[in-house]
A and B are shown apart, each in its own frame.
Chain A
Amino acid sequence: MRLLYFAWVKEKVGHAAEDIDVPRDVATVAELIAWLKTRGPEFAHAFDQAEVIRTAIDQAHVQHDARIGDAREIAFFPPVTGG
């Protein structure tokens, strides 16, 4: 699975993208975030206020209770500020 990070999430994590094998018991976005936070202090820091972070699965917005299923690409980012 490919994970992408944008804006300050990317800065806190320290990189923009990675390919990763997610444990099979990680079923939802919320569970994925909880698992990511165990991967190191930079992830714990980036996802500290998890409720603020927005998520997209295969380039479509989803809520944190969304199931990951067979997602190819999951992106994490702050609330958007375009326009």
Chain B
Amino acid sequence: MIRVQTQDFDVGAEIAALKAGRTDIGAIVSFTGTVRDAHGDVTEMTLEHYPGMTEKELERIEAEATERWPLQASLIVHRVGTLKPGDNIVLVITASAHRDAAFDAARFLMDDLKTNAPFWKRESGPHGDRWVEAKTADEDATVRRHDR
């Protein structure tokens, strides 16, 4: 399942909902991305996205992960709008019978999301606003994955 929302999420509640009533799951991996202010110059972060395409891309990414790994369940939640340092941005949860598939699929979901899902971050601080630039490392992560 995928969701794009302005409101926060509760990792524990999402995991509980995902495994409720199921006994076929043996491993659950979750990744949470948060707003970082490493140098004390970010007071706000605004996330813009492309409504419609965002959901399509997230669904495509999730479907690809489900095809490649034996997942019992998965969830991608991404927030949009204005956030503050420390706030949650993104949540990925994967559930499988065993840990390898859950770990690998979670990493794949985040790598693919970071290179393909149409979100853009804008940071605000005392020195003004700036669009966050894409990192080549994210592109490299996707290349690495496709090489496997």
The number of residues on chain A lying at the interface, defined by a beta carbon within 8 Å of a beta carbon of chain B, is 16
Chain A residues within an 8 Å CB radius of B133: 79, 81
Q: Is A83 an interface residue (CB 8 A)?
A: yes
The number of residues on chain B lying at the interface, defined by a beta carbon within 8 Å of a beta carbon of chain A, is 27
CA distance A30 to B134 in the complex (A): 22
By beta carbon, the residue of chain A nearest B52 is A59
Q: Assess whether A81 is in contact with B50, with CB atoms less than 8 Å apart.
A: no
Q: Is B119 an interface residue (CB 8 A)?
A: yes
Pick the residue among B33, B52, B53, B131 that contacts A83 (CB under 8 A).
Answer: B33
- How many A-B pairs have beta carbons closer than 8 Å: the answer is 69
CA distance A59 to B47 in the complex (A): 19
Across the A-B interface, the 9 shortest Cβ-Cβ residue pairs: A82-B119, A79-B134, A59-B53, A7-B120, A83-B114, A81-B132, A81-B121, A8-B131, A82-B117
28 example contacts (A-B, Cβ-Cβ < 8 A) are as follows A4-B50, A7-B48, A7-B122, A56-B53, A59-B50, A59-B52, A59-B53, A60-B53, A60-B56, A61-B116, A75-B118, A77-B50, A77-B120, A78-B131, A79-B134, A80-B114, A80-B116, A81-B119, A81-B121, A81-B131, A81-B132, A82-B49, A82-B89, A82-B90, A82-B121, A83-B90, A83-B110, A83-B113
* Residues of chain A whose beta carbon lies under 8 Å from any beta carbon of chain B: 4, 6-8, 56, 59-61, 75, 77-83
